[in-house]
Amino acid sequence: MNVAIVGARADGHAGSILDALSYFKNINVVAFFDNSTNKLNKKVHGIPVIGNIDKILEFGDVKIDAIHVAIGDNKARFDIYRKLELMGLQLLTIIHPSAITSRSAKIGEGCFIGANVVIQNNVFIDDYSIINTGAIIEHDNVIGKAVHLAPSSCTAGRVIIKDLAFIGIGALIVPDITIGYSVFVNAGVVVKKNVEDGLKMVGYSAKAHSKNIYLDSP
């Protein structure tokens, strides 16, 4: 399978994607696409950076079988994946071989499941989401589109996380909590109450702080 990656930052999320794909002998990364002009016509780990995503359909060196967006920002990742779908491209979900996923869990298209992640029974993860290194999603969770659970975050049973929410490093969410649309939960926060759409949760007591940067999301 020939795979292209959108986002060419080797010291960022793209580096984690390349590392995960290195475990799969049947996958060959053939190109990066990135909007940064300073990366154009350069190589990342020997893989050429072609240009922005509009160049994907013009890329004729080899056939691209599937594509993955290696961008941590929820809104940017959501928008790019929507464009790629309109182009008719196959979206690739990547699951690191060290991750543990229940047979009853369902994972959508364009997702990334990182190293040492645990996903328990009856979990549903919608398209474009990132479940990063060492995160734990307990049973019967529902995770929306383009959500990002940062490393070592943990959700207890029956948690609902709506589209475009970000859960910071080491954050903990107790059972039966709903995290609203585009909510930003800061690193290390313990969430004990439902969080309304668009709020940012900071500090040890996880008080509602301000509207977040994704407020203008669709």
How are beta strands 124-125 and 106-107 bridged, if at all? parallel
The single-letter code of the amino acid at 134 is G
Q: What integer pLDDT is reported at residue 216 of this predicted model? A: 47
Q: Which two tokens stand for residue 201?
A: 């949760």
22: exposed, middle or buried (Cβ count in 10 Å: 0-12, 13-18, 19+): exposed
Give dist(CA 125, CA 114) in Å, integer: 14
Give dist(CA 166, CA 68) in Å, integer: 19
Q: What integer pLDDT is reported at residue 61 of this predicted model? A: 84
Q: Under 8 Å CB-to-CB from 59, ≥6 apart: which residues? A: 4, 31, 50
Q: What integer pLDDT is reported at residue 165 of this predicted model? A: 97
Q: Which two tokens stand for residue 142?
A: 């529902």
Q: What integer pLDDT is reported at residue 200 of this predicted model? A: 84
Position of tokens 């359909």? Answer: 57
- For the chain, state the CA radius of gyration: 17
Length of the chain: 218
Q: What integer pLDDT is reported at residue 57 of this predicted model? A: 85
Q: What integer pLDDT is reported at residue 39 of this predicted model? A: 81
Question: For 155, how many CA atoms within 13 A lie in the half-sphere containing its CB?
Answer: 35
The single-letter code of the amino acid at 25 is K
Give dist(CA 1, CA 69) in Å, integer: 16
Enumerate domains of the chain plus CATH numbers: 2-86 (3.40.50.20), 94-211 (2.160.10.10)
8: exposed, middle or buried (Cβ count in 10 Å: 0-12, 13-18, 19+): buried
Q: What integer pLDDT is reported at residue 173 of this predicted model? A: 97
Q: What integer pLDDT is reported at residue 192 of this predicted model? A: 93
Q: Within the chain, which residues score under 70 in pLDDT? A: 203-218
Helices (H), 70-153: 74-86
Q: What integer pLDDT is reported at residue 131 of this predicted model? A: 98
- Sign of the CA dihedral 9, 93, 212, 214? positive
Q: What integer pLDDT is reported at residue 211 of this predicted model? A: 53
